[in-house]
A = this chain, B = another copy of it.
Amino acid sequence: MVNVGILGATGMVGQRFIQLLENHPKFEIKALTASQRSAGKKYQDAVTWHLDTPIPESVEDIVVVDTDPGLVKDVEIVFSALPASNAAVVEPKFAEAGMKVASNASAMRMEPDVPLVIPEVNPEHLDLIEIQQKRRGWDGFIVTNPNCSTIALVLTLKPIYDQYDVNRVYVSTMQAVSGAGYNGVPSMAILDNMVPFIGEEEEKMEEETLYLLGDFDGETVEPASFGLSTSCHRVPVVDGHTEAVFMEMDEDFELEDIKKSMQEFQAIPQKLDLFSAPKNPIIVREEDNRPQPRMDRMREKGMAVTVGRLRQDASFPRSLKYVLLGHNTIRGAAGASILNAELIAEIM
């Protein structure tokens, strides 16, 4: 068993880390950190637990410590659910102290020597770790996963992008409130309502997507160059981000071939049979009215993305439209970091 810790363990994503790591076959939680206010308390007393399964007994009595590498002992991997501003300062300290940091925070994602990875999409970017350690003189390192909306999108783009010349992509999201954290969206803002804006979300989606699908020469990433434009919206859904995708290709294609590529898409996590890897990263549904958040978000324990409404426009002959759904705090956050760590534990 590998000893792991969770940085920022009391927030929404921190709770998901704990939930997903319960009964994990390789990772055992040994340390939990939070803000000073919580330090010194047992986890069950420090947290306001918001998930619909109980707090795992194995972590109830762990005493929460301040987010300081000197206080996190005998731990090989730390999962970071820290807020971005905090992560920028603290994650490097953990890497310097020799720990492997699998981070869900956005702070370090676009650093040129920090891998931004979806295991099914760009595992080769992990080669940046060696460069990172050399350049920064760290024994440990930082690996990041993308934003929740980006992950679900890129997983569905990958099998298409690998086989076709993509010209332009437009994406309109309908995102769940859990993405903003427990207190992020007041009920007054969202009951019988929706909000057509999520701070910095469009910028992250556009930059990260092209970066993840970019070319990597072993040292630097050259972002993909197709046009990409997003519009991000918050809707009254608890968990599960839905995205409407419009694409145009630079070549002819058959819709059935696209569908088959998605359904058959598998990559390293599936080949290595990693514990958190979905058997099929993309589930394609034929019904008109799917995917739906409440119905589909938990497929493959929340680690698969469900795609539906694959279709073409009569007026755009090389166009492709579909709707996708991914669980934003599992596949899009805690589960993403854990899958990164599982891949690293297996291949490094």
**A67: min CB distance to chain B, Å:** 23
Which B residues lie within 8 Å of A188 (CB)? 12, 50, 177-178, 182-185, 238
Complex formed: what's the CA distance from A292 to B227 in Å? 28
Which of B288, B291, B313 contacts A229, CB < 8 Å?
Answer: B313
A292 touches B195 (CB 8 A): yes
Which B residues lie within 8 Å of A316 (CB)? 168, 227, 229
Complex formed: what's the CA distance from A177 to B190 in Å? 11
Residue on B nearest A288 in the bound complex, by CB: B197
A231 touches B196 (CB 8 A): no
Complex formed: what's the CA distance from A98 to B168 in Å? 52
A236 sits at the interface (CB 8 A) = yes
Determine which residue in A52, A199, A206, A298 has the highest number of CB atoms from chain B within 10 A of its CB, and name it: A52
Which of B190, B229, B296 contacts A315, CB < 8 Å?
Answer: B229
B191 touches A177 (CB 8 A): yes
A158 sits at the interface (CB 8 A) = no
Determine which residue in A182, A194, A291 has the highest number of CB atoms from chain B within 10 A of its CB, and name it: A194
Complex formed: what's the CA distance from A198 to B17 in Å? 30
Residue on B nearest A309 in the bound complex, by CB: B196
Residue on B nearest A181 in the bound complex, by CB: B188
Complex formed: what's the CA distance from A235 to B196 in Å? 13
B294 touches A192 (CB 8 A): yes
> Given A244-B231, A315-B227, A321-B231, is A187 in contact with B177 using a C-beta cutoff of 8 Å?
yes
Determine which residue in A174, A177, A244 has the highest number of CB atoms from chain B within 10 A of its CB, and name it: A244
Which B residues lie within 8 Å of A195 (CB)? 289, 292
> Given A52-B294, A188-B182, A189-B187, is A196 in contact with B242 using a C-beta cutoff of 8 Å?
yes
A233 sits at the interface (CB 8 A) = yes
**A95: min CB distance to chain B, Å:** 32
B293 touches A229 (CB 8 A): no
A290 sits at the interface (CB 8 A) = yes
B189 touches A174 (CB 8 A): no
Which of B186, B196, B293, B295 contacts A308, CB < 8 Å?
Answer: B196
Which residues of chain A from 290 to 346 have a CB within 8 Å of any chain B CB?
A: 290-299, 308-309, 313, 315-316, 319, 321, 323
Which B residues lie within 8 Å of A53 (CB)? 298
Q: Which 4 A-B pairs have the closest CB atoms?
A: A172-B172, A192-B192, A231-B244, A193-B294
- A interface list, Cβ under 8 A from B: 12, 50, 52-54, 168, 170, 172, 174, 177-178, 182-197, 199, 206, 227-229, 231, 233, 235-238, 242, 244, 246, 288-299, 308-309, 313, 315-316, 319, 321, 323
